[in-house]
A and B are shown apart, each in its own frame.
Chain A
Amino acid sequence: MTGARRSARRLLPLGVLSLLALVPLTFEQYKLYVASLTLVYLVMAIGLNLTLGYAGQISLAHGAFMAFGSYAVAILGQRGAPFELGVGLGAALGFAWGLLVGFPALKVKHHFLAMVTLGFNIIVFLVLRNWEWLTGGSFGISGIARPAWGAISFQSDRAYYLYMLAWAAIVVASAYWILTSRWGRAFRAIRENEMRAEALGVSLRNYKLMAFAIGAAYAGVGGALFAPLLGYIDPGAYTLDRSIQFLMMVVMGGLGRFEGPFIGAILVTVLPEVLRASEGLYLVIYALAVMLMMLFMPRGLVGVWDWVLARLGPAPAARAPLAPPPDAARLG
């Protein structure tokens, strides 16, 4: 009885969420595009949240990992390969490079890791701009095809939105699985106290590398989904600015919280759109909002979410395993 009730409680937000995710299908073209972009950002933010929020390792290279996915899809697509192959290759490239870049993470600490990843992002950007034979240089690649399964084509904006939604669902489900498994517990143990985690038998090396590589693989998937959205990519979309934007997304949503990336992705795409009505002022207001949010909600907007949930009823027990410890925002 209670088991059924608990699973119902767990399924309810999921059902509401899936219904909400279908609402953009009724939108006009531009709003649908913004909603599609939100899905890309959601996938990216989930990846970064895993690396940064759960395992506590800062990454300023998420834009570069995203580029692997985008260019894998674009380049393979030009040669007639199916779209899913591109997604797979993007994720694999992200994973492999995540391992390589994450390797210094074993030796260096917080702000040094920020610099190593920052440098990596810059190198990738320069490579994308200069390897014209492969990436088209600064002109980029245009005419990127959307996926098609035989007679079923995801060519229209609505169909492609649904296709992205399916991938987003896979990413959300797999992230949930990782975080509730022993891996997620190991990640959090490392973030809280490295020495204690190691003493308890957590292999620091393996889990740190994995947290980095899995986060990067998700970024590869996000990048792959992003490429056919406009059908055109160029290196300018994968700069350090982009990586910083992802960082803001994850921190503003709520570090180390499963709901965080959802809130962050919606916030970063929707807020500028809403504020655009105020003409040129929107960047000023956006900047003010970012500062105020960090001042009064350093744990992210997830705090508001908690407050709403607390008002609606007693906190469901199912959420407890993913709740952060009191010092989650501390990464110093």
Chain B
Amino acid sequence: MTDLFQLLVAGISIGSIYAMTAIGFVLLWQTSNTINFAQGEFVVLPAFAMVLFWMVFRLPFAAALLATVLLSTFLLGFLVRRFLVARLLQTGVLPLVIATIGLSLFIRYSLQQFWTPLALPFPPLFSRVPMRLGTLLLSWEELMNVLFAGAAIGALHLFISRTKLGWAMQAVAQNRTLATVLGIDVGRLVTITFVLNAALTAMAAILIAPVYLVKYDIGIGLGLKAFYAAIIGGFNQIRGALLGGLLVGIVETLAAAYVSGQFRDAAALVILIAVLLWKPEGLWGVKEEWAS
């Protein structure tokens, strides 16, 4: 029983990081119809940036964190939106999909080529001495991951549901043409979404770096899991991506513990396939996207 509880905490911890990545992914889809195949690399690049600022330049932690988030929002938010997406939004979904595949390869292999093909160690951010609660052993790292990811997602939720910009984002997601007619600057909102996504992935990067180590190719698995989480939870719902991310994290942790370590990556697939068969709009999705 205590085992199960500890595994659940571990699953929720990794799942909350998947959820952050998946939520960014869904936001991009909603406001700009971008299926971002580079989402995994959007996590890897800030992780490398953090290594650069913190461990190579030896900046204080807070300064390195700020620099990483700023760099990520500038490169992956602003620049990508400005130079890749702005032009391709006019040409439709497919060229944009192919371009993001190109972007993911570009980031991944540039890091491998110009920095290192090896895994870089990343020091733990929190004490590795577990916290004791009776017979329970809880890791600080896992608890803090949940806390920070929860805070980020909560802040995002407040932003979307309580501010004018957030309402405008919802309007664009629901009906782009109508939003334009109502005087919403859709282009500016798309930029804001990209910047928000880059900030989310930068935070996910810093939380996941001590768990996974920093390597050029960890984005492949991460991106795929964010994609699965989004499909499982529902592509048109932020809470869907949250649910999907947590579910993937929990199920893969339980599968690794109770079935076998090899089954870890297959677990997400099993849920994905089950969802696609029984409820292709996602567990928490809405059927509005279905054709008549």
Report which A residues bind B (CB closer than 8 A).
52, 58, 104, 107-112, 114-116, 119, 122-123, 126, 244, 247-248, 251-252, 255, 280-281, 283-284, 286-291, 294-295, 298-299, 329-332
B9 to chain A, nearest CB (A): 29
Spot the interface stretch: B103-111, B120-128, B144-152, B248-256. B103-111
Q: Which residues of B contact A332 (CB under 8 A)?
A: 33, 92-93
21 A-B residue pairs with CB within 8 Å:
A112-B281, A112-B289, A119-B273, A244-B101, A248-B101, A251-B98, A255-B94, A283-B105, A287-B109, A288-B102, A288-B106, A291-B103, A294-B96, A294-B99, A298-B92, A298-B95, A299-B91, A329-B95, A330-B92, A332-B33, A332-B93
Q: Which positions 80-96 of chain B face chain A at CB distance < 8 Å?
A: 83-84, 87-88, 91-96
Which of chain A's residues have a CB closer than 8 A to the CB of B103? 287, 291
Residues in chain B within 8 A of chain A (CB atoms): 29, 33, 35, 37, 83-84, 87-88, 91-99, 101-106, 109-110, 112-113, 231, 235, 266, 269, 272-273, 276-277, 280-281, 289-291
In whole angstroms, how far apart are the Cα atoms of A116 and B106 in the complex? 27
Decide: A329 and B102 in contact? CB cutoff 8 A. no
Contact A248 B98 (CB under 8 A): yes
Separation in Å of the B15 CB from the closest CB of chain A? 20
| List of A residues within 8 angstroms of B266 by Cβ | 126
Out of B94, B110, B277, B281, name the residue touching A331 (CB < 8 Å): B94
Contact assessment for B35 and A290 in the assembled complex, using a CB-CB cutoff below 8 Å? no
B269 touches A331 (CB 8 A): no
Residues of A within 8 A of B290 (CB): 107-109, 112
Which B residue sits closest to A300, measured CB to CB?
B95
Q: For chain A, what secondary structure do more than half of its interface residues adopt (helix, strand, loop), or is it mixed?
A: helix
Q: List chain A residues, Cβ under 8 A from B83.
A: 295
Are A123 and B273 touching (Cβ within 8 A)? yes
A74 to B83, CA, bound (A): 47
Contacts of B276 in A (CB 8 A): 115-116, 119
Contact: A329 with B94, CB < 8 Å? yes
A228 and B96 CA atoms in complex are apart in Å by 35
Contact for A108 among B84, B97, B99, B280, CB less than 8 A: B280
How far in angstroms is the closest Cβ of chain A from B51?
A: 20
B289 neighbours in A (Cβ, 8 Å): 108-109, 111-112
Residue among A109, A110, A284 with most chain B CB within 10 A: A284
Kindly state the separation between the CA atoms of A281 and B112 in the bound complex, as whole angstroms: 10
Partner of A111, one of B92, B110, B235, B269: B235
Q: A112-B235, A283-B113, A332-B92 are in contact. List 18 more A-B contacts (CB 8 A).
A: A52-B94, A58-B94, A119-B273, A119-B276, A122-B272, A247-B97, A248-B98, A251-B94, A280-B109, A280-B113, A287-B105, A288-B102, A288-B106, A290-B105, A291-B102, A295-B99, A298-B91, A331-B94
